Amino acid sequence: MRYEKIQAPKGVSEYVPPISSAFEWVRDQLISQAKNAGYQLMELPVFEDTALFSRGVGESTDVVSKEMYTFEDRGGRSITLRPEGTAGVMRAVIEHGLDRGQLPVKVWYSGAFFRAERPQAGRYRQFYQVGVEAIGVNDPALDAEIISLADAGFKKVGLKNYRLDITSLGDAQSRAAHKVDLVAFIDKLELDDATKARAAINPLRLFDDKRDEIKSAMADAPLLKDYLSEQSTKDFSAVLQYLDQLNVAYVVNPRMVRGLDYYTGTTFEFVHEGLGAQSGIGGGGRYDGLMEVLGGQSLSGIGFGLGVDRVLLAAQSEGLLTQDQFSSDLFIIPLGEGAKSAALVLAADLRAAGIRTELAFGDRALKGAMKAADKSGSRYVIVLGESEISSSVVELKEMADGSTSSVKIEVLREVLLESLSR
Ligand code: HAM
């Protein structure tokens, strides 16, 4: 009997060799600067109580109203696969009382997120983010740190062709004043019931509507930037000044709307020009009411989430990744049974010194093993046979130009470390 093959569910992103090495590298670069800034790992469940997202992220968002993977578990509880990371971090901060300790609570996370979107290039139903959250201090310098850490992550990957859009959604007072005028403006528009319902929950959502008729109807709508309170104006200009000093370029975009409802104050998005429609490579902002809405005390917070899948695509579009950069340094070909244990021991020793070392396995003839060495992309190759073992000398071959040099096995580690550091 032949079984049918089973395929991955539609629209998930997955990474297998060789591209998985590039994915891993990009993910690690993106978060490396946040780690250097004292943000600590938070490892959280990928499923949570559905109420966490409906209350935390907001009922009017597409993410909650259309895109959640929600199901009943065996105990009849409503469970949702996490569509984003901030609500879960806040839940855990409250649950573990981290907000009673040193502030700000500074954490980072990395993992899979789930949104039932229509799949296309750069938009997946399971995708990967790295993110950070800093909770408990309201200071424009912290906003600037967070934004510059995201920017530094993109720079670590080597990205150049991206832009930072930034705006302020103001404090509660600014938003309340704006809301009065915005709701009055929207009331005069002819809208279908579904759109009216969305606007009733969060009128800002209409700025994000992709339909041409809504876009043109909203062209003259009042903008939040004209309603910012004195404090919000002062805070926002401080953030921009810090960014200037940090040499982080930005474009103030007062019509920017993020897809999640918890944002307040500084809000931002990074957009890459090589990605077509799915150009958002990361975004974030302040969320000063979130902790309270989730049953905690009233503390402010700010953070970002960066899309690892999209940053990988962006890096490829800028020609930044070469397979060589993920290949081994040395490939060892043992010849004959006696050489195998010597090769295993030598490889373990070299790896312990940080030299990426692979072995040929199986009893292949030298020609086949050389092909494997070539395919591995390793920078150097040695053959370890009886004569090499008895003389304690190997021929170190550089694969790029075929040049060889004789090296004593006892100094092979030093020779490789020296040449790899060049
Ligand atoms: P977000 O803008 O919804 O923010 O997502 C952050 C990033 O995740 C996006 O810029 C994009 O690169 C990536 N992303 C989102 N959806 C998909 C998808 N379907 N396929 C591939 N990549 C995707 C948040 O999630 C907030 N929690 C960020 C944050 C943290 N704000 C404050 N703290």
Q: Are residues 293 and 268 in the same domain?
A: yes
Q: Which of 270, 287, 317 is the endpoint of a domain?
A: 317
In a domain, 306, yes or no: yes
365, two tokens: 């003839």
- Indicate if ligand 1 lies below 6 Å from the C-beta of 283: yes
Decide if 198 is inside a domain.
no
Residue 363 and residue 385 share a domain: yes
CA of 305 to the centre of ligand 1 (A): 5
Atom of ligand 1 nearest to the CA of 303: 33
Residues 91 and 131 in one domain: yes
Instruction: Give φ, ψ of 217 to 5 degrees.
Output: -65, -30
- Determine if ligand 1 sits within 6 Å of the CB of residue 117: yes
For residues 244 and 286, membership in a common domain is answered with: yes
Distance (Å, whole) CA 168 – CA 176? 14
Domain check: are 294 and 368 in the same one?
no
In a domain, 211, yes or no: no
Quick check: is 205 in a domain?
no
Residues 303, 366, single domain; the answer is no
Give the Å distance between the CA of 165 and the centre of ligand 1.
15
Q: Is the CB–ligand 1 distance for residue 127 below 6 Å?
A: yes
Please, are residues 102 and 147 in contact by the beta-carbon 8 Å criterion? no
Beta-bridge partner residues of 383: 333
**In a shared domain, residues 236 and 368:** no
| Cβ atoms 55, 94 nearer than 8 A | no
Using CA positions, which residue lies closest to atom 17 of ligand 1?
123
Ligand 1 atom 23: residue of nearest CA:
307
Whether residues 301 and 344 share a domain: the answer is no
Nearest CA to ligand 1 atom 33: 303
Q: Which atom of ligand 1 is nearest to the CA of 124?
A: 20
Q: Report pLDDT for 205.
A: 84
Dihedral of the alpha carbons of 38, 39, 43, 47, in degrees to the nearest 10: 170
| Claim to verify: residue 248 and residue 339 sit in the same structural domain | no
Residue 373 inside a domain? The answer is yes
* CATH number reported for the structural domain that contains residue 91 in this entry: 3.30.930.10
Residue 414 lies in a domain: yes
pLDDT value at position 44? 98
- Is residue 126 domain-shared with residue 257, that is, in the same domain? yes
Atom of ligand 1 nearest to the CA of 86: 27
Q: Are residues 308 and 357 in the same domain?
A: no
Does the CB atom of residue 284 touch ligand 1 within 6 A?
A: yes
Question: Considering only CA atoms, which residue is closest to atom 25 of ligand 1?
Answer: 84
Q: How far is the CA of 128 from the centre of ligand 1 (A)?
A: 9
Residue nearest to atom 1 of ligand 1 (CA): 283
- Is 305 a pocket residue for ligand 1 (Cβ < 6 Å)? yes
Q: Per-residue pLDDT tens for 42-83?
A: 999 999 999 999 999 988 788 998 999 999 999 999 999 999
Q: Which residues contact 193 (CB under 8 A, 6 or more apart)?
A: none
pLDDT (tens, 9 = 90+) of the chain, 422 residues, equals 899 999 999 999 999 999 999 999 999 999 999 999 999 999 999 999 999 999 999 887 889 989 999 999 999 999 999 999 999 999 999 999 999 999 999 999 999 999 999 999 999 999 999 999 999 999 999 999 999 999 999 999 999 999 999 999 998 888 889 999 999 999 999 899 989 888 888 898 898 888 999 989 999 999 999 999 999 999 999 999 999 999 999 999 998 888 888 999 999 999 999 998 899 999 999 999 999 999 999 999 999 999 999 999 999 999 999 878 899 999 999 998 889 999 999 999 999 999 999 999 987 788 999 999 999 999 999 999 999 999 999 999 999 999 999 999 999 999 999 999 98
Which segments within 361-413 are labelled E, that is strand? Answer: 380-384, 393-398, 404-408
Cα of 33 to ligand 1 centre, how many Å? 19
Does 193 fall in a domain? Answer: no
Parent domain of 336:
327-420
What stretches of 54-125 adopt beta strand conformation (E)?
Answer: 69-72, 78-81, 105-114
Kindly give the distance from the C-alpha atom of residue 85 to the centroid of ligand 1, in angstroms, as a whole number. Answer: 9
Name the domain boundary from 261, 296, 317: 317
For residue 109, the CA-to-ligand 1 centroid distance in Å is 13
> DSSP for 22-38?
HHHHHHHHHHHHHHHTT
Domain-embedded: residue 210: no
* Other CB atoms within 10 Å distance of the CB of residue 230: 9
CATH number at residue 354: 3.40.50.800
Ligand 1 pocket, 88 CB below 6 A?
A: no
Distance, in Å, from the CA atom of 69 to the CA atom of 278, rounded to the nearest integer, reads 21
CA gyration radius, the chain: 27
Q: Is 157 in the same domain as 275?
A: yes
Do 122 and 278 meet the contact criterion of CB atoms below 8 Å apart? Answer: yes
How many separate domains does the chain show?
2
Backbone angles phi, psi at 296, to 5 degrees: -100, -170
> Which residue has its alpha carbon closest to ligand 1 atom 5?
305
> What distance in angstroms lies between residue 308's CA and the mean position of ligand 1's atoms?
10
The residue whose CA is least distant from atom 28 of ligand 1 is 305
Last residue within a domain, chosen from 317, 341, 359 = 317
pLDDT tens, residue by residue, 346-361: 999 999 999 999 999 9
Q: What is the pTM of this model?
A: 0.94
